[in-house]
């Protein structure tokens, strides 16, 4: 159907008010009002762009830009996904794609690194949590949609890319030349140090609970004597599957609330509780976090801290306590929308505030390195092992 500029406003109003069947994505309740004045303003701006913008823009492009702006203005984690964007997201969630290996968000128009993923080009190159990406190749990503920035960074495995970042305390922009590779999260690493079990969890995937359980059983077999406690390393873990966070927390609790979510719809109001089990039988537990620990990592740390089951060690976490749902639309595009916030068992709202550790351990070096060389290169892990060793006396 062709709609002239003259009757566009009336058509939009009709969609919203008179013909709900033709606009099934929105339900207008009786007690809600439609902002007719704002619709008129939208039509006025639309008309001026169509008539005066330096280049001719088609209607579909304008409407998609309007929807993107409306959704992205809500918070950094909500977004409208075009068909291509949605396909990119589905590729990313398979855990196998050509890229750099970073979790990103947007902040004040910049692309911000939540954390580099273990065993990836970005991690090996020295990208850090909190870095602000300002250029990909020669193209500025300032004020760019996050999906467009992701497209620039993804590419064929083996191809090279240059990114420019701003970093606190760095006097000038830092330039990294990185070779893309297939990104496959390895999930879990484990080792025994001084009869202290150490498990590194880099992301929360659907099988993470069983993987962690299996790793702990293997640790017990590896140790020549019974382990005296466990360190769960969630540094630079950006989160993932909510169910995995609940399941992993439940491994260490015999009772109590784990997390609850709250939003405007009934589906967003959920509570999760522990079942009677503790895989460690009361042995001391330390959870390591830092500024790259987000979302599901904060659920685990917050629940174990509030239930006084673990000592939280490291630096304050990222502070992402929101839940996003992906809703596919009729034309193959999708809406990624924040529908709830989650809270720790004691009701702490950690969104933007993060989890504050019980014991602060600062880094001596910028880079969190890989196992198995913690004594010489990873000061925070070394200090945490010493703390754990000192906790042997409280073993049950």
Annotated active-site positions, please? 295, 306, 320
Rounded Cα gap, residues 253 and 255, in angstroms:
6
Contact of 193 with 376, CB cutoff 8 Å: no
Question: Rounded to whole angstroms, what are the CA distances from 351 to 146, 176, 288, 317, 347?
Answer: 20, 31, 19, 10, 12
Question: What torsion do the CA atoms of 69, 74, 77, 82 make, to the nearest 10 degrees?
Answer: -30
Put residue 114 in one of left, alpha, beta given phi > 0 → left and psi -120 to 50 → alpha.
Answer: alpha
Residue among 45, 37, 39 at smallest CA distance from 26: 39
Rounded Cα gap, residues 250 and 104, in angstroms:
28
Strand partners, 115: 103
DSSP 60-107: HHHHHHHHHHHHHTT-TT-EEE-HHHHHHHHHHHTT-EEE--EEEEEE
Rounded Cα gap, residues 94 and 201, in angstroms:
18
Rounded Cα gap, residues 292 and 130, in angstroms:
8
Rounded Cα gap, residues 160 and 174, in angstroms:
17
Residue among 14, 19, 238 at smallest CA distance from 115: 238
């Amino acid at each position: 159907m062709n709609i002239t500029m003259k009757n566009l406003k009336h058509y939009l109003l009709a969609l919203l008010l008179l013909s709900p069947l033709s606009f099934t994505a929105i339900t207008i309740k009786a007690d809600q009002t439609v902002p007719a004045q704002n619709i008129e303003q939208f039509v006025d701006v639309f008309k001026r762009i169509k008539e005066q913008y330096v280049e001719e823009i088609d209607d579909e492009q304008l409407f998609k830009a309007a929807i993107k702006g409306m959704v992205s203005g809500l918070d950094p984690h909500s977004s409208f996904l075009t068909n291509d964007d949605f396909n990119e997201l589905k590729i990313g969630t398979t855990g196998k794609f050509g890229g750099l290996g970073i979790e990103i968000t947007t902040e004040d128009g910049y692309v911000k690194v939540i954390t580099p993923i273990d065993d990836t080009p970005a991690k090996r190159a020295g990208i850090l949590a909190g870095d602000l990406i300002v250029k990909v190749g020669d193209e500025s990503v300032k004020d760019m949609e996050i999906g467009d920035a992701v497209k620039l960074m993804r590419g064929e495995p083996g191809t090279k890319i240059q990114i420019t970042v701003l970093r606190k305390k760095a006097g000038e922009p830092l330039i990294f030349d990185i070779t893309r590779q297939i990104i496959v999260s390895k999930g879990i690493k484990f080792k025994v140090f001084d009869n202290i079990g150490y498990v590194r969890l880099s992301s929360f995937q659907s099988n993470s609970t069983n993987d962690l359980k299996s790793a702990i059983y293997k640790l017990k077999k590896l140790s020549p004597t019974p382990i005296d406690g466990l360190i769960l390393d969630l540094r630079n873990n950006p989160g993932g599957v909510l169910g995995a966070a609940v399941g992993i927390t439940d491994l260490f609790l015999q009772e109590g609330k784990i997390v609850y979510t709250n939003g405007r719809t009934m589906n967003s109001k959920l509570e999760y509780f522990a079942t009677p089990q503790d895989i460690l039988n009361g042995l001391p537990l330390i959870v390591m976090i830092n500024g790259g620990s987000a979302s599901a990592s904060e659920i685990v740390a917050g629940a174990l801290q509030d239930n006084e089951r673990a000592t939280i060690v490291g630096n304050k976490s990222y502070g992402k306590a929101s839940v996003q749902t992906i809703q596919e639309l009729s034309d193959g595009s999708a809406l990624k929308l924040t529908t709830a916030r989650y809270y720790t068992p004691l009701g702490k709202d950690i969104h933007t505030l993060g989890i504050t550790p019980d014991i602060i351990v600062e880094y001596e070096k910028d880079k969190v390195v890989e196992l198995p060389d913690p004594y010489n290169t990873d000061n925070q892990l070394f200090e945490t092992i010493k703390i754990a060793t000192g906790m042997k006396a409280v073993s049950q």
